[in-house]
A and B are shown apart, each in its own frame.
Chain A
Amino acid sequence: MGSAALERRSDAVTPDPLMGAGVRPAEARARWARLPYLGRPAGITLLLLLLAFLSLYPMVMLLYGSLHSTPPGIAGTFNLDGYAGLLTVQNLQILANTIGISLIKTVLSMALAILLAWIVARTDTPARGTLEVLITLPFFIPPILTATAWAMLGNAQVGTINLAWRWITGTDSTLVDVYSYGGVIWHMMQYSTPFIFLFVVDAFRAMDPALEESSRMSGATRWQTFWRVTFALMLPVTTSAFILSFIRGMEGFESAVFFGTPVNIKVITTQIYDLITQQAQPDYQGATSFGFAAMALMFLLLVLQSRLLRRRSFTTVTGKGYSPNVIRLGGLRWVTFAICIAFFAATVALPIGQLLLSSFFQFFGFYQLDMLTLDHYRAVWANDEFWTALGNTMLLGVTGATATMVLGGIVAYVTTRTLWFGRRLINLLAWLPWMMPGMVLGIGFLWGFATLPHAIPIYGTLWALLLAYVALGTPVAVRVTSGAYQQIARDLEECSRVHGAGWWQTLGRVLVALAWPAFAVGWVLVFFGIMRELSASILLYSPGTQVLSVVMLKMWTSNRAEDVSVIGLLMVVMVLLFRWIQLRLIKTRISTL
């Protein structure tokens, strides 16, 4: 070094402790461009603190609460009573219920989802594009809606299905009773089937047809090819979907509280809920210990998942847009068409029909002409609590979804596009809420907010709900945006840098400009998530900050099913509207890209 040809700048260069090497632009003209470099340590620290508050803090407070003998905010001693109380036969039964129910519903959903995905992606069934939209629709409808609807459809005495069955057969027998294990499982399946479907259908579609064709050319039958090539290649995707769906099933609250609690079928989430809200003396320590144990279980499952999937390659089934092999079914294609329509009918059309029906009659189950009424619409219209809840839900939905997407977008950028110091920790913190069921995160925040100094009044305000929603939504937001970033070739960014754009310019003019459809999709997903969130909300709301889902559950338990139907219909309209906008948005964007 030190050749005459290379003139060294005389400025002293300050080493940057984070980068290991100082950074000094050559021209004063572009001094502002140093901002990302000099602001980086501060930005990363801020991001880490925020994420730690959203995920690590409730976890720590969960541990704290589980050892604390009295409810949050009251002086007490520390002991292990909470954990000691876990070791009972009844709790073993609850654990077995939780695992058993989730396992069965995941297996059934997986089989159904693979069938539906195969029909949509690989057969010449008519109107496959529309069918795909219809099959995935239940995923976007708040579970509390279908739960109320199915409670009215499948009630053993006055359920619409049983009334129709008796009318048709002329007997007194009962066809279905949703207040049972079967009812809980069936209600969960309505969500996990489209969830798994969304994973599997792309795997079916994105597979290089040459992989299957070469199997056929090697002498394998269609059936052998399906199992030994198609299914084997999809195994990583299906395993991943299976475990995720299983975890979600264990975290589920609505199905069990609606169909399990009345007949004493208990799962972990409903037990936690009961310990806090349904007892003369709320048992916070017991509930928190339960929550911490549940979280540990989720942690084990996630470790299992990452171990199972570590050595698997997904490369064969992602990426290029192949046109997949389509099987001609002949007359059978109307059977497959009917299967898809039946699924849509059972999960969307029937529940919405039931909500419509019960909203116009005095009492659900008694459908006579002289019982027709608009009273329920008037009652809801005049209900202040409803308006407060609607306002809160909308406010929290819009601000929560926006905040979550901004945070998720930044986290995804740092973790997928940079080599910055601390990015692994940022990624980890953003993913932590993934292993906390809403109910458990709710307790964590309950303890967390209650023990904050009084100068920070989060407890009992909308902020409490907002922070919980952001924490719960961040993994989804990170997932959606990092997926979008990964599809944008690094070249596009580097090319911008080489041709004179700074870091911020490149971010805005290339990355965000290209990824905004994903941001829009993610925003809608998070918004839906907030709108249907029940298990954390029910612990964190207080008078004045209730949200729609909480109000609906309260109305339901005080036997105002018909009013719930009215609110449910309003939510359905919103869901359909958002989903329609989302689909339009994606379609127009994809056609131009």
Chain B
Amino acid sequence: MPNVALQAVSRHFAELKAVDNIDLAVSDGEFVTLLGPSGCGKTTTLRMIAGLEQNDSGSIAIGGRLVSDAATGLFVPPEQRKLGMVFQSYAIWPHMTVFDNVAYPLSVRHVPKREIAQRVTAALRLVEMERYADRPAPALSGGQQQRVAIARALVFEPEVLLLDEPLSNLDARLRTVMGEEFRALQRRLGITTIYVTHDQEEAMALSDRVVVMQRGRIHQVGTPEQVYRRPASRDVAAFFGTPNLIEAIVTASRPISNGEAGNDEHVLAVQGTNWRGQCRAAAAFGEGDKVLVVIRPEDATLIADDAVLADGQLGWRGRIVDGVFRGPRRSLAVQTDVLRFRVECPAMREMPTGDTATIVVDSQNAWAIHA
């Protein structure tokens, strides 16, 4: 079973803890993304799985087989780990044709020539590049090199596919197209995939699960919805978009079940400067605890200044100080007593700056984290 398991894995470069004691289990056929800013250790983690870096402590297993264990000194070199990998630079060998590039993983393993031809053609067809087989590799565009790199990574039918920021060198339009192709291909082949990126939208669009990393540590693991709507910390919340973070103090806390076993949430009653209301949280808080209430700009709506709040709603009064038209939507900045509130609303609504209004948020969409 081609799953991947990391246990207490660390990697140090001199004083710097590039990867600091992380545990991660990727199940068979899963698409997992390691997400984080540059220097967070995501690429180092991927390279340790690939065998291009050796972990200083902990162990790594692929498909139930231990490939690296710092305690016993076991280290399986990369070529024996049966992996496919797409590099950020694609690493297309410039001295070979497209065909030779894709055939490489087979020919170094001494697969018979006839079988190589078959499998390479099949792999190139998979990425719609069979017409380019005889081209010299440097005569390809970025998107085409990308496809060749994918074909090469898949031709050996690897146990696990590793992708290191494969879309970062493409322009925005092609990035979306190739991302969708990745996802479709991965679903079709059902191959276990570990993907590294610093682009949160890419991570959410592609993955079954997202691993948010920062400073060598894992901050949160969850489905794209979980990490976006239920961030575990301020860092995670801030990494996805530009949420509004409002300071408040807890006045009461009680658990509720949202239907999923072992995934209980808590309802908090909170008190802020000139406002009070309810919000959700992952854990129980004590009375008087300081929290930050996370509110996504798109969850806030503006109503007329004198309207009355319904039950279960949070509200802040403020004055619109800035408005940017973005086509499908409009980004507003509303100055309240507490903070400059970011609100995303439909573009059709006319919102002249200078007007006063009330910001309304459904308390189900207000999420509390430790301050």
Residues on A lying within 8 angstroms of B by beta carbon are: 1, 3, 5-9, 13, 15-16, 21-27, 30, 33, 489, 491-492, 494-503, 505, 509-510, 513-514, 592-593
**In contact, A1 and B58 (Cβ under 8 angstroms):** yes
- Would A25 and B93 be within 8 Å (CB), given that A1-B71, A9-B66, A13-B72 are in contact? no
Q: What are 28 A-B contacts with C-beta separation under 8 Å? A: A1-B58, A1-B71, A3-B7, A5-B25, A6-B69, A7-B66, A9-B74, A23-B77, A26-B80, A27-B80, A33-B79, A491-B87, A491-B88, A491-B89, A494-B78, A494-B87, A494-B91, A496-B108, A497-B79, A498-B52, A498-B84, A499-B105, A500-B156, A501-B79, A502-B77, A509-B108, A514-B94, A592-B136
- Of all A-B residue pairs in the complex, the 9 with the closest CB atoms, nearest first, are A491-B91, A499-B105, A495-B91, A22-B73, A501-B108, A21-B73, A497-B78, A498-B85, A491-B87
With A and B bound together, what is the CA distance between A23 and B52 in angstroms? 14
| Closest A residue to B149 using CB positions | A495
Chain B nearest CB: distance from A555 CB in Å?
A: 47
With A and B bound together, what is the CA distance between A168 and B354 in angstroms? 93
With A and B bound together, what is the CA distance between A513 and B101 in angstroms? 13
**In contact, A513 and B95 (Cβ under 8 angstroms):** yes
Cβ–Cβ < 8 Å partners of A24 in chain B:
73-75
Chain A nearest CB: distance from B88 CB in Å?
A: 8
With A and B bound together, what is the CA distance between A3 and B5 in angstroms? 10
| Closest B residue to A496 using CB positions | B104
With A and B bound together, what is the CA distance between A560 and B138 in angstroms? 56
Chain A nearest CB: distance from B13 CB in Å?
A: 11
Chain B nearest CB: distance from A347 CB in Å?
A: 37
Most chain B CB neighbours (cut-off 10 Å) among A33, A494, A503: A494
With A and B bound together, what is the CA distance between A8 and B76 in angstroms? 13
| Closest B residue to A16 using CB positions | B73
Chain A nearest CB: distance from B140 CB in Å?
A: 14
With A and B bound together, what is the CA distance between A593 and B136 in angstroms? 9
With A and B bound together, what is the CA distance between A501 and B103 in angstroms? 12
Determine which of A33, A491, A505, A509 lies in contact with B80 in the assembled complex, contact meaning CB atoms within 8 Å. Answer: A33
Q: Residue B266 at the A interface, CB < 8 A? A: no
Q: Residue B162 at the A interface, CB < 8 A? A: yes
**In contact, A13 and B152 (Cβ under 8 angstroms):** no
Cβ–Cβ < 8 Å partners of A489 in chain B:
89, 91
Chain B nearest CB: distance from A586 CB in Å?
A: 15
- Besides the known contacts A22-B74, A494-B91, A501-B104, 19 further A-B residue pairs in the complex with CB atoms under 8 A apart: A1-B71, A6-B64, A9-B74, A16-B73, A23-B77, A24-B75, A25-B76, A25-B77, A33-B80, A497-B77, A497-B79, A498-B78, A498-B81, A499-B79, A501-B108, A502-B79, A592-B138, A593-B94, A593-B95
Determine which of B7, B8, B85 lies in contact with A499 in the assembled complex, contact meaning CB atoms within 8 Å. Answer: B85
Cβ–Cβ < 8 Å partners of A23 in chain B:
73, 75, 77
Cβ–Cβ < 8 Å partners of A5 in chain B:
3, 5, 25, 61, 64
| Closest B residue to A14 using CB positions | B73
Residues on B lying within 8 angstroms of A by beta carbon are: 3, 5, 7-8, 25, 50-52, 54, 58-59, 61, 64-67, 69-85, 87-91, 93-95, 104-105, 108-109, 136, 138, 152-153, 156, 162
- Would A6 and B156 be within 8 Å (CB), given that A23-B75, A592-B136 are in contact? no
With A and B bound together, what is the CA distance between A513 and B136 in angstroms? 15
Cβ–Cβ < 8 Å partners of A497 in chain B:
51-52, 77-79
**In contact, A499 and B156 (Cβ under 8 angstroms):** yes
Chain A nearest CB: distance from B228 CB in Å?
A: 29
**In contact, B108 and A495 (Cβ under 8 angstroms):** no
Cβ–Cβ < 8 Å partners of A509 in chain B:
104, 108
Cβ–Cβ < 8 Å partners of A514 in chain B:
93-95
Cβ–Cβ < 8 Å partners of A502 in chain B:
77, 79, 108
**In contact, B8 and A1 (Cβ under 8 angstroms):** yes
Chain B nearest CB: distance from A76 CB in Å?
A: 51
Interface of A is mostly: loop
Chain B nearest CB: distance from A428 CB in Å?
A: 22
**In contact, A494 and B73 (Cβ under 8 angstroms):** no
With A and B bound together, what is the CA distance between A492 and B78 in angstroms? 14
Chain A nearest CB: distance from B169 CB in Å?
A: 12
With A and B bound together, what is the CA distance between A23 and B162 in angstroms? 23
**In contact, B73 and A15 (Cβ under 8 angstroms):** yes
Determine which of B50, B64, B73 lies in contact with A498 in the assembled complex, contact meaning CB atoms within 8 Å. Answer: B50
Chain B nearest CB: distance from A512 CB in Å?
A: 10
Cβ–Cβ < 8 Å partners of B74 in chain A:
9, 13, 22, 24
**In contact, B52 and A494 (Cβ under 8 angstroms):** yes
| Closest B residue to A6 using CB positions | B61
With A and B bound together, what is the CA distance between A9 and B59 in angstroms? 13
Determine which of A15, A16, A21, A510 lies in contact with B93 in the assembled complex, contact meaning CB atoms within 8 Å. Answer: A510
Cβ–Cβ < 8 Å partners of B65 in chain A:
7, 26
- Would A33 and B77 be within 8 Å (CB), given that A497-B51, A514-B95 are in contact? yes
Most chain A CB neighbours (cut-off 10 Å) among B64, B66, B83, B84: B66
Cβ–Cβ < 8 Å partners of B90 in chain A:
491
With A and B bound together, what is the CA distance between A592 and B73 in angstroms? 44
Most chain B CB neighbours (cut-off 10 Å) among A7, A495, A497: A495
Chain B nearest CB: distance from A395 CB in Å?
A: 32
With A and B bound together, what is the CA distance between A13 and B75 in angstroms? 10
Chain A nearest CB: distance from B102 CB in Å?
A: 10
With A and B bound together, what is the CA distance between A15 and B70 in angstroms? 11
With A and B bound together, what is the CA distance between A3 and B70 in angstroms? 15
Cβ–Cβ < 8 Å partners of B105 in chain A:
499-500
Cβ–Cβ < 8 Å partners of B104 in chain A:
496, 499, 501, 509
Most chain B CB neighbours (cut-off 10 Å) among A15, A33, A497, A510: A497
| Closest A residue to B83 using CB positions | A498
With A and B bound together, what is the CA distance between A13 and B71 in angstroms? 11
**In contact, A500 and B91 (Cβ under 8 angstroms):** no
With A and B bound together, what is the CA distance between A501 and B101 in angstroms? 13
With A and B bound together, what is the CA distance between A15 and B87 in angstroms? 32
With A and B bound together, what is the CA distance between A503 and B108 in angstroms? 11
Cβ–Cβ < 8 Å partners of B50 in chain A:
494, 498
With A and B bound together, what is the CA distance between A313 and B84 in angstroms? 37
With A and B bound together, what is the CA distance between A491 and B138 in angstroms? 15
With A and B bound together, what is the CA distance between A495 and B162 in angstroms? 11
**In contact, A21 and B78 (Cβ under 8 angstroms):** no
Chain A nearest CB: distance from B331 CB in Å?
A: 32
**In contact, B153 and A499 (Cβ under 8 angstroms):** yes
| Closest A residue to B47 using CB positions | A494
**In contact, B7 and A1 (Cβ under 8 angstroms):** yes
**In contact, B108 and A505 (Cβ under 8 angstroms):** yes
Cβ–Cβ < 8 Å partners of A15 in chain B:
73
Chain B nearest CB: distance from A48 CB in Å?
A: 24
Chain B nearest CB: distance from A522 CB in Å?
A: 18
**In contact, A26 and B67 (Cβ under 8 angstroms):** yes
**In contact, A500 and B79 (Cβ under 8 angstroms):** yes
With A and B bound together, what is the CA distance between A498 and B155 in angstroms? 13
Cβ–Cβ < 8 Å partners of B51 in chain A:
497-498
Cβ–Cβ < 8 Å partners of A592 in chain B:
136, 138
With A and B bound together, what is the CA distance between A402 and B69 in angstroms? 42
Cβ–Cβ < 8 Å partners of A500 in chain B:
79, 82, 105, 108-109, 156
**In contact, A1 and B95 (Cβ under 8 angstroms):** no
| Closest B residue to A505 using CB positions | B108
**In contact, B7 and A6 (Cβ under 8 angstroms):** yes
Determine which of A6, A13, A25, A510 lies in contact with B73 in the assembled complex, contact meaning CB atoms within 8 Å. Answer: A13
Cβ–Cβ < 8 Å partners of A505 in chain B:
108
Cβ–Cβ < 8 Å partners of B87 in chain A:
491, 494-495
- Would A499 and B108 be within 8 Å (CB), given that A494-B87, A513-B95 are in contact? yes
Most chain B CB neighbours (cut-off 10 Å) among A21, A27, A498, A505: A498
Cβ–Cβ < 8 Å partners of A496 in chain B:
93, 104, 108
With A and B bound together, what is the CA distance between A411 and B3 in angstroms? 40
Chain A nearest CB: distance from B62 CB in Å?
A: 10
| Closest A residue to B56 using CB positions | A21
